Structure 1
Amino acid sequence: MKPENEKLLLEAGAELGFDLTAQAETFGRLLDLLVTASARTNLTSLRDEWAIVLKHFIDSLTCLRGGWLDGEQRVLDLGTGAGFPALPLAIVRLELHITAMDATHKKVEFVERAARELGLTNVEPLVGRAETLGRQPGQREGYSRVVTRAVAALPILAELSLPFLALGGFLVAQKGVLDAGELEAGTRAAAEVGGDVRAVDTFTLPVLGDARTLVVIEKTGPTPQRYPRREGVPNKQPLFWRAT
């Protein structure tokens, strides 16, 4: 990582309330791994170091706002892609036990390799779709937290995520700008699958000022056995919502 981008990492981290000095070298190694792997296969569309620092590393850490991930937790990163937010969270919060799940093998393979090379023993890779894994013993109701980052509309996230949560657990969904229609549908979908919206936190990304929203949903009751619906249905027919 170039010195100016390490400085950017530290300054943006400080805006979030984190001193990342001790983790800067590890983030630098992750950046090198990501850039090298992306030259061979399409893991991320971002190529500039500063963009990766802000839009992957720092953006991933914004889900720590509000303390929802404090303490030792079993966390599922649903739709991790190239490991975001799983890898930055694992670097900063060693007490989190994170399962990084994605349906794309090459992305999960990168996460597994990166975690191994960075010495992150608190990351477990998992290949599969939420509609299938959310019905499996050990996965269904197996997590205290689920995190998602720009995966899908809120009603879809509620249906796919809440089956994984134990009662009293929380979904922490990272979104951009969230309109009232999506929030309303997401609230109704959450209630349908056993959840209740607890917080809607709007803020801006450090340095860039891009709009961000954290939506936090608590698992307040059991998810009916009919959810999640079969593969592809939640995306094609989101509960209570139709995009315009």
Structure 2
Amino acid sequence: MTPEEFFEALSTKGIDLSDTQKSQFETYFHELVETNKVMNLTSITEKEQVYLKHFYDSLILDFFDDALIKDDLSICDVGSGAGFPSIPLKIVNPNLQVTIIDSLNKRINFLNQLVDKLGLENVNLVHGRAEELGQNKQYRQSFDLVTARAVASMAVLTELCLPFVKKGGQFIAMKADKASEELVEAKFAITTLGGKFEKQAEFELPNGAGSRNLIFVSKTKETPKKYPRKPGTPSRKPLIK
């Protein structure tokens, strides 16, 4: 997907980018590829693949939720890595209040430089483990929307992410092929942590690049205080009934 094809594909979804926004995506690509030469950020560096599998893939969320395109929602991106999906979402909607959590400080440093070069405001970059930050009053149950992109299995991801969602908010997991199987395992964790499964949506990427699954979970109750558990515990002992 060339940049021009990317812009056109977004336009067909009702997302028309300004020249500034188009330039921001070009800068993002350049910074990602240049930094990747000295730091392992991604295995995808070819331009058309970055625009398709990172930028366009991140913006699938916009196709399912118009509020992400125009409202000033507070969103938290857990395990963002090189900034996906939150930075593309922020470029499209500058009104978003974005918090990015990542356990590797080198990635946070990259994102700090990136955010500065893109001229983005209201982006909070936090170095730390989701298990610990999920117990921090500054972040716990504070966000309208929490998302994560292929960070862990759905049962594990639920414990890492749902504690950050405010009551009445939403957690959206971005998954690939095994989403349905993972969802069956995760339903106990979703209920235990105060969530309610709403729907699963599948989307086919252009150019035969594969399918993506979005799992939507609403926050209906407060997460019990003992969750999330200590770092590493959710991965070793997922909440599976």
Residue 162 (structure 2) aligns with: 162
Change (3 A) 1:74 1:179: closer
Matches within 5 A, 1:130-141: 130-141=130-141
1:143 CA displacement: 1.0
Letter of the aligned partner of 1:105 in structure 2?
N
Matches within 5 A, 1:211-222: 211-222=211-222
Match of 2:7 among 7, 10, 20: 10
Deviation track 1:10-53 (CA, whole Å, cap 9, x = no partner) reads 13323544223532111001101111111111111112011111
Distance 1:68 1:157 in 2: 24
Matches within 5 A, 1:106-125: 106-125=106-125
Residue 17 (structure 2) aligns with: 20
Distance 1:83 1:220 in 2: 28
User: Residue 198 of structure 1 contacts residue 217 of structure 1 at CA under 8 Å; is this kept in 2?
Assistant: yes
Distance 2:214 2:123 in 1: 23
The two structures have a TM-score, normalised by structure 1, of: 0.92
How many residue pairs get aligned? The number is 238
User: Residue 179 of structure 2 contacts residue 213 of structure 2 at CA under 8 Å; is this kept in 1?
Assistant: no
Distance 2:18 2:177 in 1: 31
Change (3 A) 1:127 1:42: same
Distance 2:239 2:63 in 1: 28
Question: Is there any run of 5+ residues in structure 1 with no aligned partner, and where?
Answer: none
Residue 101 (structure 2) aligns with: 101
1:232 CA displacement: 0.4
Question: 17-26 vs 209-218, which deviates more?
Answer: 17-26
Match of 2:31 among 8, 30, 33: 33
User: Residue 12 of structure 1 contacts residue 207 of structure 1 at CA under 8 Å; is this kept in 2?
Assistant: no
Question: Is there any run of 5+ residues in structure 2 with no aligned partner, and where?
Answer: none
User: Residue 69 of structure 1 contacts residue 145 of structure 1 at CA under 8 Å; is this kept in 2?
Assistant: no
Distance 2:211 2:67 in 1: 21
User: Residue 141 of structure 1 contacts residue 164 of structure 1 at CA under 8 Å; is this kept in 2?
Assistant: yes
**Residue 40 of structure 1: SS of its match in structure 2?**
coil
Residue 227 (structure 1) aligns with: 227
The RMSD of aligned alpha carbons is: 1.6
1:5 CA displacement: 2.3
Which stretches of structure 1, 4 residues or longer, exceed 4 Å deviation after superposition? Answer: none
Change (3 A) 1:86 1:179: closer
Residue 186 (structure 2) aligns with: 186
Deviation track 1:48-79 (CA, whole Å, cap 9, x = no partner) reads 01111111100010112321743211110000
Letter of the aligned partner of 1:19 in structure 2?
D
